[in-house]
Amino acid sequence: DIQMTQSPPSLSASLGDKVTITCQASQNINKYIAWYQQKPGKAPGLLIGYTSRLVSGIPSRFSGSGSGRDYSFSISNVESEDIASYYCLQYDNSPWTFGGGTKLELK
């Protein structure tokens, strides 16, 4: 199985900050990575697919990049509604595997 190492596990930010989360795969995943946001008690919501493709309706302050084994997800100008947990998912190889998650909190 491909291991997805997501960091940091938690992140504290002020409103307006830029934050970055990384996921490192145990092997090349050919840009087949998606990013999700989850708020407590809610379903995960898809934000980005195929490394950097923003889902329709998602604000442009969210972005993704990377290649090979290393990928990142950023939020520029953090807003209060962004307080949530974030997960990466690799779907290059079966079984698909998730990162461990990052909890974003307000400083």
Partner 1 sequence: EVQLQESGPGLVKPSQSLSLTCSVTGYSITSNYWGWIRKFPGNKMEWMGYISYSGSTSYNPSLKSRISITRDTSKNQFFLQLNSVTTEDTATYYCARVPFNWAGPYYFDYWGQGVMVTVSS
Q: What is the DSSP letter of 96?
A: P
Residue 77 binds to partner 1 (criterion: CB under 8 A): no
Residue 91 binds to partner 1 (criterion: CB under 8 A): yes
State in angstroms the smallest separation of the CB of 97 from partner 1.
7
Strands 102-106 and 10-13: parallel
Cis check for the bond before 40: say yes or no (omega within 30 of 0).
no
Let me know: does 33 contact 98? Beta carbons within 8 Å: no
Give how many residues touch partner 1 by CB under 8 A: 22
State in angstroms the smallest separation of the CB of 80 from partner 1.
22
Interface positions, 4-63, toward partner 1 (CB under 8 A): 32, 34, 42-46, 49-50, 55
Give the whole-angstrom CA distance, residue 94 versus residue 72: 21
Provide the H-helix boundaries in 36-94. Answer: none
Residues near partner 1, by CB under 8 A: 1, 32, 34, 42-46, 49-50, 55, 85, 87, 89, 91, 94-98, 100-101
